[in-house]
Structure 1
Amino acid sequence: MQRQPFTALAAVYDAIMADVEYDHWADFVLTYARDGGLNEPGRALDLACGTGGFTRELVGGGWAVTGLDFSEAMLVEARGRLPGVPFVQGDLRTFDLGERFELVTCVFDSLNNLLGAEDLGAALRRARAHLVAGGLLAFDVNTRVGVRELWEGDAIEGLAPLPDGEEVHYHWSHHYDAEADVGVVQAFCRVGELEFVETHRERGYDPSDLEPLLAAAGFARWEIVEYPDYAPPTPDAPRVWVFAWAGASA
């Protein structure tokens, strides 16, 4: 019944996440990119792409996208959704594709799954290494407040229809482990007679945590904002977005 994160969940992930506003997130990112000088769609790398929800929006915006994720199960779903897009299995901290992109993205608090500054720093360095001069990295993270107070009532529950006519019943509970300084989600799902649980852990990162890591990764400049108005984050912001520009040299 207990499964590794993002394995059994892959088959029902899109049904449970049907209301995620990937289209609005993509507009938010691509508007910032255009305003910053990336006027023509080029090559994009979508990190922690999962089942390809955000990847699809980038493709729809005219970008030539490569998706990368650690979970092969999630990539199976992504390849079925977007058969013309290259999807690669890889670790955010160590991947090396041997090419560079104008835009690198990593959305839906995926970087919070890296539970230490060393791992997050490694991922930022890998992202920077895959950007052309003047390229843009765009990502979001839950802050420390966001990880502590993930959901009102610390649980979400519902039924979601699946393409084959069945339904997935899900009950996800959250608690904050103060000693480890991480949020823990127990994700229970049931489809017919099949039941499984995945345990997901996230560490929150505030702007003060992110800025030295961005500098050490070699980014020339960055801006940390809130969605959807690009305003400076308030002290109690549960989530922030980061736009970091690569300089002239790696």
Structure 2
Amino acid sequence: MGSEKRSVAAAAYDVLAPAYDVLTGGYAYDSWIAALQRLALSHGLDGRRVLDVACGTGHSMLPWLERGYEVVGVDVSERMAAVARAKGLEVHVADMRALPPLGQFNLVTCLGDGLNHLLEPEDVRRALGEMRCALAPGGLAVFDLNLLTAYRDTPDTIVEVEDRVVLWPGAGARIAAPGGVGELVVDVFEREGELWRRTRSRQPHRHHPLVDVLGAARAEGYAIVGVYGQHPGVRLEDTADEHVHAKAIVIARR
């Protein structure tokens, strides 16, 4: 794990942490996790211990808890973890390429583009290997991956809640070629008396071709048991196409 790489991701999300729930408030986390739970159960999920890698402020942890699972989270950002802990969640601060020893889990998830924040293919493989080590024998990993479609037409987004405005221009994050790199720049404006304070989060993204990531997962000892294409929202299909779907959902067994 390179300290420079870790500091880039941590710094980006430390800045974004106070506004992250504002920015993602409209996301259908409950429906998404319900769909992923159904898929995991259909592929033999057995047991109720879940590790959520790159858990952020805990949005994707809460639906598992509400369904009776024991959930532990890991995130690289101390401030994101602090927001999650304020919700009563157990979250540890660590890089996904060097997970702490937390025992073994029946299910490990890595959602919300976590792997696309890693800029080197070897870092993706390393992260997948760390997640495999956290799985109990026969356990399942569920991770998503942004496909080329997600990067070809990234929109501008503005969210305003009370004294906070989040501005997310999409142009910088666009990636046209397989394996390309873009940068998502998010500006957060917060009112301080008569003035506004701006902070900026820079998040480099890399498109990792799905076929390469599946190969890396197999090399780390996974059996791929399901690959699904996801359209915006929670519309899943039984195949994943780089030029059709925004995301791929991968289910792999240790």
Instruction: Name the TM-score, length of structure 1 as normaliser.
Output: 0.87
Match of 1:156 in 2: 157
Q: CA deviation at 1:185?
A: 1.2
Q: Distance in 1 between matches of 2:208 and 2:248?
A: 9
For 2:31, which of 24, 38, 41 is the aligned residue? 24
One-letter code of the match for 1:209?
D
Q: Distance in 2 between matches of 1:71 and 1:121?
A: 21
For 1:86, which of 90, 95, 100 is the aligned residue? 90
Q: Which moved more, 1:118-127 or 1:14-23?
A: 14-23
Q: Distance in 2 between matches of 1:225 and 1:94?
A: 27
Q: Which runs of 5+ in 1 are unaligned?
A: none
SS at match of 1:226: strand
Match of 2:219 in 1: 216
Q: CA deviation at 1:4?
A: 2.5
Alignment of 1:8-87 (within 5 A): 8-38=15-45, 41-81=47-87, 83=88, 85-87=89-91
Match of 1:124 in 2: 128
CA change 1:245–1:150 in 2 (3 A) is farther
- Let me know the Cα RMSD of the aligned residues: 1.9
Q: CA deviation at 1:206?
A: 2.5
Match of 2:182 in 1: 183
Structure 1, residues 22-42: CA drift from partner, whole Å, max 9, x if none? 111101111011112225x51
The answer on whether the counterparts of 1:144 and 1:203 sit within 8 Å (CA) in structure 2 is no
One-letter code of the match for 2:66?
G
CA change 1:221–1:87 in 2 (3 A) is same
Structure 1, residues 91-140: CA drift from partner, whole Å, max 9, x if none? 10111314110000011111110011100000000000111111110011
Structure 1, residues 148-193: CA drift from partner, whole Å, max 9, x if none? x2524xx21231x2xxxx3321211232477982121110110102
2:95 is equivalent to residue 95 of structure 1: no
One-letter code of the match for 1:47?
V
2:210 is equivalent to residue 207 of structure 1: yes
The answer on whether the counterparts of 1:135 and 1:245 sit within 8 Å (CA) in structure 2 is yes
One-letter code of the match for 1:86?
E
Match of 1:241 in 2: 249
Instruction: Name the TM-score, length of structure 2 as normaliser.
Output: 0.86
Structure 1, residues 43-75: CA drift from partner, whole Å, max 9, x if none? 100000000000111111111011000000000
SS at match of 1:229: strand
Q: Distance in 2 between matches of 1:215 and 1:138?
A: 14
CA change 1:100–1:230 in 2 (3 A) is farther
2:150 is equivalent to residue 146 of structure 1: yes
Q: Which moved more, 1:3-12 or 1:237-246?
A: 3-12
The percent identity for this pair of structures is 27
SS at match of 1:138: strand
Number of aligned positions between the proteins: 233
The answer on whether the counterparts of 1:146 and 1:204 sit within 8 Å (CA) in structure 2 is no
Q: Distance in 1 between matches of 2:41 and 2:175?
A: 40
Q: CA deviation at 1:229?
A: 2.9
One-letter code of the match for 2:39?
Y
One-letter code of the match for 2:214?
E
The answer on whether the counterparts of 1:207 and 1:224 sit within 8 Å (CA) in structure 2 is no
The answer on whether the counterparts of 1:113 and 1:202 sit within 8 Å (CA) in structure 2 is yes
Q: Which moved more, 1:171-180 or 1:223-232?
A: 171-180
Q: Which moved more, 1:133-142 or 1:168-177?
A: 168-177
